[in-house]
């Protein structure tokens, strides 16, 4: 019985291998876009201090916010505005059509630096 079973398996294996042909479809995980989209980028940088003396002062209510426009001319009106919080700055940029990409928080010299990276599609 074992010999018959082994002979049948050896005889069926070539037929089973033909059923596993590779398809010619493109099954790439990341599809390639053929687009000529251009983007502008800005970096919103703000810092707050974790020192107790700075927090108790009256000037601590306003965050120190700067805009790195990276050659962008469409974001100049946002950079001229005064913001009390980083969230207000990010929300104002989003209303102007800027899309949030990423954020980082870095601790340097007892100050928390917040970086918000945003992009905007430009029409050519």
Q: For the chain, what percent of residues have pLDDT higher than 90? A: 11
DSSP 47-64: EEE--HHHHHSGGGGS-E
Q: What would the pLDDT profile of 55-93 be if each residue is shown by its tens digit?
A: 454 444 456 888 888 777 666 777 778 888 888 889 988
For residue 112, pLDDT beyond 80? yes
pLDDT score, position 61: 46
Q: Find the range with the poorest average confidence among 19-28, 69-78, 89-98, 101-110.
A: 19-28
Report d(CA 45, CA 40) in Å as an integer: 17
Query: How many other C-beta atoms lie within 10 A of the C-beta of residue 34?
Result: 4
CA 42-43-45 angle, to 5 degrees, is 150
Q: What is the mean pLDDT of residues 30-51?
A: 74
């Amino acid at each position: 019985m074992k010999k018959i079973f082994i002979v049948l398996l050896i005889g069926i294996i070539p037929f089973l291998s033909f059923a596993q042909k590779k398809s010619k479809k493109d099954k790439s995980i990341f599809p390639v876009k053929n687009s000529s989209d251009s983007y502008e980028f800005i970096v919103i940088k703000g810092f707050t201090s974790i020192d107790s003396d700075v927090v108790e002062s009256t000037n601590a209510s306003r965050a120190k916010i700067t805009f790195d426009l990276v050659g962008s001319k469409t974001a100049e009106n946002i950079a001229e505005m005064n913001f009390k919080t980083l969230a207000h700055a990010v929300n104002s940029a989003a209303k102007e059509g800027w899309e949030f990409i990423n954020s980082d928080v870095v601790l340097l010299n007892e100050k928390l630096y917040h970086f918000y990276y945003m992009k905007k599609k430009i029409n050519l």
